[in-house]
Structure 1
Amino acid sequence: MAPFYRDTWVEVQLDHIYENVKSMREYLPVETHIMAVVKANAYGHGAFQVAKTALQAGASFLAVAFLDEALSLRKKGINVRILVLGAIRHEDAILAAEHDITVTVYQKEWLLRALKNHSFRKKLRIHLKVDTGMGRLGIKEFTELNEIIELIQHEENIDIDGVYTHFATADEVNTDYFDRQYGTFLEALAILNAHQVDIPHIHCGNSAAGLRFPTKVFNVVRMGIAMYGLSPSEEINGLLPFTLKEAFSLHSRLIHVKKLQPGDKVSYGATYTAEEEEWIGTIPVGYADGWIRRLKNREVIVEGQRVPIIGRICMDQFMVKLPGPMELGSKVTLIGSQGNEVIPIDEIARELETINYEIPCMISFRVPRIYIQSDQIVEVENHLN
């Protein structure tokens, strides 16, 4: 296990990831596969450990955003099918084929360039991406979809393994736009059927769609945010079919405790002034770790008690007001539970006026990840060592 030499760390409860995937597996129709989305270093949790756990829990495939992420998993011994959801350079298609990495075809021009410039020794496995209203990546015009299919049907080195789309509003209670996108996707599938193209994997469901519409997502669900124990949105919390178990927590320790006198100042800009004798503690986490300055009004948990952050958050440290003198080394929880207190990721997201997806992603690589399974540390990941 990689050692680390700072008093700040993330804990990832692999059992929670396992249970979230297992719950989804039991909830979906038996013929529906789970594609575990481990892009962005598994939303900040750690791609390799999450991938292994998700596959053990019943996931069939993996998905990432970029070719680099897929290659990293291959180098670590992950051999299942991996779909790159984002665009890759056409000149890298041959590399994807060599490593049996499935790529997204979203444009005729991209495909023409990939085929023109390379001689594939292995088949290139692809999923067609249809833009039904997300407006991000995908084939929007059905004429272009027809042309792509006709082009592929004459290419021996291309294997159409799947077709998919992505919903913009599956995490909203109102389904009007969802229904509109779904109808457009059905039209695209009708075109494929007219060409008599046999496509093994059809998917339109992210976590939200999979949780809400299990019989409408065809035979693959891309499980992302729910795998990590987070709801796709607070709006649909009441619609979730099973309890999600949050896997990510962030901890540190008190490294310095001192008493202030009335009038003493704290941190950059001297924005905080002690009004009486106060005890403050210093915690070795800062905005370089992803605990950004806008979190200056937050609370953290020290020895089971919520305490307020005071003054401005620095690059590597911040200060809190303590109820009294506390022991050096006392555990501090920024995200997660300690004693009877809990700070969920959604609470941090509300403070920052953002979504829960962003919070674990923004905790930087320099914070070690400790992986826990059956109450035992199974691995420590430290990118600085």
Structure 2
Amino acid sequence: MRATRALIHLDNLRNNILQIKSCVASDVKMCIAVKADAYGHGAVECARTACECGADFLAVATVDEGIELRNAGIKVPLLMLSLCAPEEVKNAVAYDITPLVFDAEYAGLFSKECTLQGKKDFSVHLAVDTGMGRIGCLPCEAAQTAAGIAALDNIVLGGMCTHFAVSDSLKASDCEYTERQFKLFKDAVESVRKAGIDPGICHCCNSAATLNNPEMHLDMVRPGIIVYGYYADEISKEFLEAKGIRIDLRPVMTFESEVCAVRSFRAGASIGYGCTWTADRDTRIAVIPAGYADGMLRNFSTAGVKVSVNGKNYPIRGRICMDQFMIELGNDTETCRWDKAVIFGDKDFGALQTADDVARLTGTISYEITCGISKRVPRVFLTSHTR
């Protein structure tokens, strides 16, 4: 196996799901997001663990993601959060992947395909745009849209949903925006009920609202990043504890490699493409066989991201290459070839920083860091039995 790998701690994943469940009433369903290859963690294995922990739904973004889970034997309902192309509708129906719809024209594609496949009572969820500006009918159109969908052959309205835009922010105006979105959604649901249509499973809570807004849980919550061990922006561990909510999330991924070479350089020697870094003293440089093709973005080197070796942090020097990067050891003589080098992850596996720490340094979010670990990096799935 390659020296560069992503360790996926399934025990941590299980811990996180159970911690989240402790914040949710027993009659509230849980839809766990495993889209984007489970945020880079490996969709099939993470989906299996989620199902073992009682997930009622799994959320995917594409038909192909759903097919991968079905082919792996995953049988729980799959909710597709993004739209698909007309040519993908056939497989969405064949593999029982529940789409979000928000107009009769799009829902009609599924109705026609169900007729061709002889399938009845195919479930769809009505998306309502309460302020995200992405997909969904307007709240004032919900009843009319639901009626049009309910009139279609072979289609049943299995649920209604919306998505919060700023629920991970504590800014007063953003909190008010989330409250307004929630009210608009409740009004839309009520209008559908008044039209004599069962709205099905109603859901709106993402990771932040799942932890911070229990009054908005409704019939189901849709946790994403918190499943993988990271708090949702300002809805931090400290903030939640101050509210009396104790939840201990653990990073599910550890991104690591090994030192493949250690070399001594004289003061004045330059390192890497463009000679962007020059040693100001005699020093030692370690080479790590990972690069931007693996998820080590080039701006890691200029943002101050460090790498842990033997419990110490070392700075990245020079530009990160496609397949390799270099760190400066200085006068450290203990680090040697084949020592483990950890970029981020679980502290119990040698990490001195998390994906959140890397994200803050580079001006992004933990989601992008974990999703950015490429497919050529092997995922090694660990449990307490394999640790």
* Residue of structure 2 equivalent to 1:27: 23
Distance in 1, Cα, partners of 2:235 & 2:17: 22
* Residue of structure 2 equivalent to 1:9: 5
- The verdict on how the C-alpha distance between 1:13 and 1:339 changes in structure 2, with shifts beyond 3 A counting, is closer
Question: Is it true that 1:299 corresponds to 2:302 in the alignment?
Answer: no
- Say whether the 8 Å CA contact 2:342–2:351 is kept in structure 1: no
- Say whether the 8 Å CA contact 2:298–2:320 is kept in structure 1: yes
Question: Is it true that 1:349 corresponds to 2:359 in the alignment?
Answer: yes
Q: Write the letter of the residue equivalent to 2:382.
A: I
Residues 50-61 of structure 1: matches in 2 within 5 Å? 50-61=46-57
Distance in 2, Cα, partners of 1:93 & 1:301: 47
1:147 to 144, 152, 162: 144
Distance in 1, Cα, partners of 2:201 & 2:143: 19
* Residue of structure 2 equivalent to 1:99: 95
How far is 1:141 from its partner?
Answer: 5.3
* Residue of structure 2 equivalent to 1:319: 326
* Residue of structure 2 equivalent to 1:329: 338
Question: Is it true that 1:39 corresponds to 2:35 in the alignment?
Answer: yes
- Say whether the 8 Å CA contact 1:97–1:125 is kept in structure 2: no
* Residue of structure 2 equivalent to 1:163: 160
Percent of aligned pairs with the same residue?
36
How far is 1:329 from its partner?
Answer: 0.2
Deviations 1:282-339 (A, max 9, x none): 0001111110110013210111111111111111101111143332100100012368
* Residue of structure 2 equivalent to 1:195: 195
How far is 1:154 from its partner?
Answer: 2.6
How far is 1:94 from its partner?
Answer: 3.6
- Say whether the 8 Å CA contact 1:29–1:215 is kept in structure 2: no
Q: Write the letter of the residue equivalent to 1:99.
A: Y
Distance in 2, Cα, partners of 1:114 & 1:122: 10
Q: TM-score, normalised to structure 1's length? A: 0.92
Determine helix, strand or coil for the equivalent of 1:62: strand
Residues 1-385 of structure 1: matches in 2 within 5 Å? 4=1, 6-115=2-111, 119-120=115-116, 121-123=118-120, 124-140=122-138, 142-143=140-141, 145-173=142-170, 174=172, 175-234=175-234, 236-240=236-240, 241=245, 242-296=247-301, 297-322=304-329, 323-325=331-333, 326-336=335-345, 337=347, 342-376=352-386
- The verdict on how the C-alpha distance between 1:360 and 1:57 changes in structure 2, with shifts beyond 3 A counting, is same
Deviates more, 1:340-349 or 1:325-334: 340-349
Distance in 1, Cα, partners of 2:81 & 2:274: 44
Distance in 1, Cα, partners of 2:319 & 2:95: 48
Determine helix, strand or coil for the equivalent of 1:111: helix
How far is 1:126 from its partner?
Answer: 0.4
- Say whether the 8 Å CA contact 1:91–1:118 is kept in structure 2: no
Distance in 1, Cα, partners of 2:348 & 2:96: 44
Q: TM-score, normalised to structure 2's length? A: 0.91
- Say whether the 8 Å CA contact 2:169–2:234 is kept in structure 1: no
Distance in 2, Cα, partners of 1:278 & 1:236: 39
Distance in 1, Cα, partners of 2:276 & 2:376: 28
Distance in 2, Cα, partners of 1:335 & 1:33: 32
- Say whether the 8 Å CA contact 2:125–2:161 is kept in structure 1: yes
Distance in 2, Cα, partners of 1:115 & 1:138: 19
- Size of the aligned set, in residue pairs, is 372
Distance in 1, Cα, partners of 2:136 & 2:296: 35
Deviations 1:205-263 (A, max 9, x none): 11111111123220100011110010011454433321111111110101011111122
Q: Write the letter of the residue equivalent to 2:30.
A: I
Distance in 1, Cα, partners of 2:4 & 2:279: 27
Unaligned regions of 5+ residues in structure 1, if any? 378-385
Unaligned regions of 5+ residues in structure 2, if any? none
- Say whether the 8 Å CA contact 1:132–1:181 is kept in structure 2: yes
- The verdict on how the C-alpha distance between 1:247 and 1:128 changes in structure 2, with shifts beyond 3 A counting, is same
Determine helix, strand or coil for the equivalent of 2:214: coil
* 4+ runs deviating over 6 angstroms: none
Distance in 2, Cα, partners of 1:8 & 1:320: 15
Determine helix, strand or coil for the equivalent of 1:281: strand
Distance in 2, Cα, partners of 1:312 & 1:318: 7
Deviates more, 1:86-95 or 1:265-274: 86-95
Q: Write the letter of the residue equivalent to 1:149.
A: A
- Say whether the 8 Å CA contact 2:35–2:43 is kept in structure 1: yes
